[in-house]
Structure 1
Amino acid sequence: MTPPSVALESVDPVEPINAVSRAAFEPRDVPVIRVDRDLPAVAAERFTAQALRARFARPPVWEPELRREPRMGNRAPAQAAVLVPIVMREKEPMVLLTERATQMSTHSGQVAFPGGRVDPEDANIAAAALREAWEEVGLSADYIEVLGSLPTYTTVTSFIVTPVIALVRPGFQLTLSPSEVADAFEVPLSHLMNPANHRRHAMVGEGLNARQWFSMPYQDGAQERFVWGATAGMLRNLYRFLVA
């Protein structure tokens, strides 16, 4: 069965959304209307490198849950790519995420994947995602094995984002670009692929004031990593792909 489509607000992984600034609202304070505890978590055996390779080599019949957000502004559509890096730690696989630099004019401190606009010089979408990961956090392609990609996710600012899924071999060292990234951290893949951790938020209003999005908060020691918007939306699609 095709899951219901939900119009979700994004954290644009490519360029700030001027019309929807963090100052406009605090996403943590927006009411949670549902937590998907009734949906099954992805089984642990599907998180091995062998299982993940096989899943992308022979994809199941499935449908992404989230494809497009309400359009905001008149920006011409542009192609973008993000890298979804699954670090194959000995204990369990982890997803590498970033926190946007605090000096960014909007959306400072928000969680994102490494990624950005596809340049004409990029050989393909995967090359763009690898380049952005190197530029933003210094993650070398020598440690990365690209598995494939998920369907595009179009943000409110008309960026058509392709999530590129990859395995990352441990042993890398990161060098963050201070103008773009304040921090890089890892969240267990099992946490992100368990719908009991998927919260649906909703704002009441008309037009773009009636917005919904997912969040997947993670308690990282004393700090809460608030994964939401486009980042959470693409992770939700990865969940649908892996659980199918």
Structure 2
Amino acid sequence: MQLSLPSRPPAVLRTLSSAQEPMFLRPALLSRSLCTKDFQQLPNEALSAGTEQRCLQILGKTPLLQRVSAGVLVTLCTSHGTPAFLYTLRSSKLKGRHKGDVSFPGGKFDSSDADAIDTALREAQEELGITLPRSTVWGPMKPITDWTGMVIVPVLANIGCLEDLAANPNPEEVESLLTLPLSLACTSSIRGCTCFRQHGRYAYTLPVFQLPGYKVWGLTAMMTDSALSLLFPGSYHSVLSGSRIR
């Protein structure tokens, strides 16, 4: 979604953790993985052709709803040779309650969009400054209805090697780009959850991914959690599995 805001310097790419930043990828942190005892093997397989085919088959069973409110591109990529999620840090000058949040590219459905996949790809182009072919899409994930009643469709996609994309983020919407390696996303050191109560009783649980200086929460955390469950079936344990809102 475009907003008329003052021009800002080009957004920069920030890697939340990588081999070049051992302060975030220390052995003590890596040893506590919720995925597998030897999780360091997982990143090499996470975006393999076999994983893609398996995900295509699963996501191909999810029907595209005719009436949706928004589409979000859950962006997988390879950053410095490491499979990762790509997020945007929303500009702090945007209006609304989600300014400054860590998010996936996405926005409201437009009448020109054929479906939620078109919405997600169009919004990614507007925010990231890159045109992504529909072939990058693995498929729509389970729709999410937020507290306002909006029906949001997460669309899982592998956009490839980040260094080759030459992203040119829209400074009116995006302050910077952030990557989170899948291996780090699976560790208990950054994963947490928030339990919500209603009328004095437990209502539901939502995941949180806590990183130095940043927090992935809300719908973005739910989409991240669901994507990890899809990528690592049987080994990644989602906090949403016991929640009423799954």
Q: Give the TM-score normalised by the residue count of structure 2.
A: 0.66
Q: 1:86 to 1:174 in 2, by over 3 A?
A: same
Question: Aligned pair in 2 of structure 1 residues 189, 38: CA closer, same or farther (>3 Å)?
Answer: closer
Cα-to-partner distance string for 1:138-186 (whole Å, 9 max, x where unaligned):
1221597111121111111222111111111221122222232211111
Q: Which residue of 1 aligns with 2:129?
A: 138
Structure 1 Cα separation of the partners of residues 130 and 112 of structure 2: 19
Equivalent residue pairs, number: 190
Change (3 A) 1:184 1:39: closer
Q: Which moved more, 1:45-54 or 1:102-111?
A: 45-54
Secondary structure of residue in 2 paired with 1:127? helix
Cα deviation code 1:42-63 (max 9, x no counterpart): 7335413313312223339xxx
Report what 2:225 is aligned to.
236
**Match of 2:47?**
48
Given residue 43 of structure 2, which amino acid in structure 1 is its aligned partner? A
Which of 166, 178, 189 in structure 2 is aligned with 1:185?
178
Amino acid at match of 1:200: C
Aligned residue number for residue 57 of structure 1? 56
Closer/same/farther in 2, CA of residues 195 and 99 from structure 1, 3 Å limit: same
2:78 to 80, 88, 98: 88
SS at the partner of 1:58? Answer: helix
User: What is the CA-CA distance between 1:195 and the residue it aligns to?
Assistant: 5.2
1:116 and 1:163 map into 2 onto residues whose CA distance is: 11
Pick which of 101-110 and 138-147 moved more: 138-147
3-state SS of 1:216 partner: strand
Residue 202 of structure 1 is aligned with which of 195, 198, 201? Answer: 195
Gaps of 5+ in 1: 1-12, 14-36, 61-76
Gaps of 5+ in 2: 2-31, 60-66, 234-246
Deviations 1:8-54 (A, max 9, x none): xxxxx9xxxxxxxxxxxxxxxxxxxxxxx784357335413313312
Cα drift, residue 89 of structure 1: 3.5
Q: Does 1:124 align with 2:115?
A: yes
Which residue identity lines up with residue 122 of structure 2 in the other structure?
R
- The aligned residue for residue 73 of structure 1 is none
Q: Which amino acid aligns with 1:191?
A: L
SS at match of 2:224: helix
Counterpart for residue 103 of structure 1 = 93
Q: Relative contact order (C-alpha < 8 Å, sep 6+): which is higher?
A: 1
> What is the rounded CA distance, in whole Å, between the counterparts of 1:116 and 1:195 in structure 2?
30
Instruction: Tell me what 2:155 maps to.
Output: 164
**Structure 1 length-normalised TM:** 0.67
2:167 corresponds, among 166, 174, 188, to 174
> 1:29 maps to what in 2?
none
